[in-house]
């Protein structure tokens, strides 16, 4: 068997900043993303995970506008809807990219609607932190907060957004099915948007709960439970920085787990952007003793050769 890579693609791979979130634009971006992912699949068995914050947020806006005609769905069902729609886009784009590159589909591609177990008593339910939906001006965000009861925050200097609970992922319900598909030489799209948050009831049955799980944390969990050889998070920047956005910002090529934990304590990474990515990488490296990479989609090939990106090492 080839080595297994879990690759998490950020929202930028689906919707670019300032771009209208149409299906046409999303397909255009995902098709470009698929070409980079296909190159990774030549060297590794591949599991692709993806975000859904903008998409599930937009769905919530649509449902709010139509609430007098059609009752809105809870967030967990919206998570499932976006997992399905984005999974379809990624699967089709990878399928087509293989035909364009090889003249045939070398591997099957499959999206798995994935449920992730969380604790119903997770403190996150009392402290919403996960940004969803579009960016707003401060005035518009505060107006929506008053009108709709939303919790809104300023998001890493990019504008204001709604935030919802983001509990810690504990287990992957479909992990055996995903592992079996990978062993069958299938490229798998899984844990989209961080997975659908569910709780285990006392009788062992599952029930959805309103939240959005951070996709980086869920991807790290998936990489750990499947003992992946490589975990990569692809985001909008080529490297992680100390003092990001300040005159003295400094790129990091390599940091140990201990250094990463110190930088997190010192507040170098923003909660809405880089912090969960570094935390996800630290959790993976601690559990596996292997390296973790953060870089941009466009630079992933150079990062795999050790020429760029940020690595977290034991």
Q: How open is the CA angle 95-99-102, to the nearest 5 degrees?
A: 125
For residue 84, indicate whether it is catalytic.
no
Of the candidates 78, 215, 272, 309, the residue annotated as catalytic is 215
Of the candidates 57, 87, 130, 195, the residue annotated as catalytic is 130
Of the candidates 29, 195, 277, 309, the residue annotated as catalytic is 277
What are 40's two structure tokens? 């990774």
Burial of residue 173 (number of CB atoms within 10 Å: 0-12, 13-18, 19+): middle
Beta carbons of 57 and 162 less than 8 angstroms apart: yes
Q: How far is CA 285 from the centre of its chain?
A: 18
Give the count of beta carbons closer than 10 Å to the beta carbon of residue 175: 18
Of the candidates 12, 15, 29, 58, the residue annotated as catalytic is 12
Is 229 strand, coil or helix?
Answer: coil
Of the candidates 10, 11, 51, 309, the residue annotated as catalytic is 11
For residue 299, indicate whether it is catalytic.
no
For residue 53, indicate whether it is catalytic.
no
Q: How far is CA 312 from the centre of its chain?
A: 18
DSSP label at 125? G
For residue 78, indicate whether it is catalytic.
no
For residue 11, indicate whether it is catalytic.
yes
What are 128's two structure tokens? 């919403």
Beta carbons of 223 and 282 less than 8 angstroms apart: no
Residues designated catalytic: 11-12, 130, 215, 277
């Amino acid at each position: 068997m080839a080595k297994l890579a879990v690759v998490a693609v950020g929202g930028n791979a689906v919707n670019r900043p300032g771009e209208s979130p149409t299906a046409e634009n999303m397909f255009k971006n995902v098709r470009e993303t698929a070409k980079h992912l296909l190159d990774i699949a030549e060297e590794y068995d591949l599991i692709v995970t993806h975000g859904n914050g903008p998409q599930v947020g937009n769905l919530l806006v649509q449902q709010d506008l139509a609430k007098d005609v059609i009752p809105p769905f809870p967030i967990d069902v919206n998570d499932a809807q976006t997992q399905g729609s984005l999974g379809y886009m990624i699967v089709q784009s990878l399928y087509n990219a293989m035909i364009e590159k090889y003249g045939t589909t070398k591997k099957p591609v499959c999206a798995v609607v994935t449920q992730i177990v969380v604790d119903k008593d997770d403190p996150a339910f009392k402290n919403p932190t996960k940004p969803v939906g579009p960016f707003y001006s401060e005035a518009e965000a505060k107006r929506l907060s008053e009108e709709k009861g939303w919790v809104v925050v300023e998001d890493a200097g990019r504008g204001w957004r709604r935030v919802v609970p983001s509990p810690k992922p504990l287990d992957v319900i479909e992990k055996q099915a995903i592992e079996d598909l990978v062993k069958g030489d299938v490229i798998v799209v899984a844990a989209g948007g961080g997975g659908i948050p569910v709780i285990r009831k006392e009788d062992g049955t599952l029930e959805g709960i309103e939240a959005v799980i951070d996709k980086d944390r869920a991807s790290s969990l998936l990489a750990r439970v499947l003992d992946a050889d490589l975990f990569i998070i692809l985001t909008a920047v080529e490297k992680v920085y100390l003092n990001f956005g300040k005159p003295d910002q400094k790129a990091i090529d390599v940091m140990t787990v201990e250094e990463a934990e110190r930088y997190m304590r010192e507040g170098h990474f923003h909660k809405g952007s880089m912090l969960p990515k570094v935390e996800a990488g630290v959790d993976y490296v601690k559990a596996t003793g292997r390296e973790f990479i953060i870089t941009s989609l466009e630079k992933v090939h150079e990062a795999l050769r050790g020429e760029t990106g940020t690595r977290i090492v034991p």
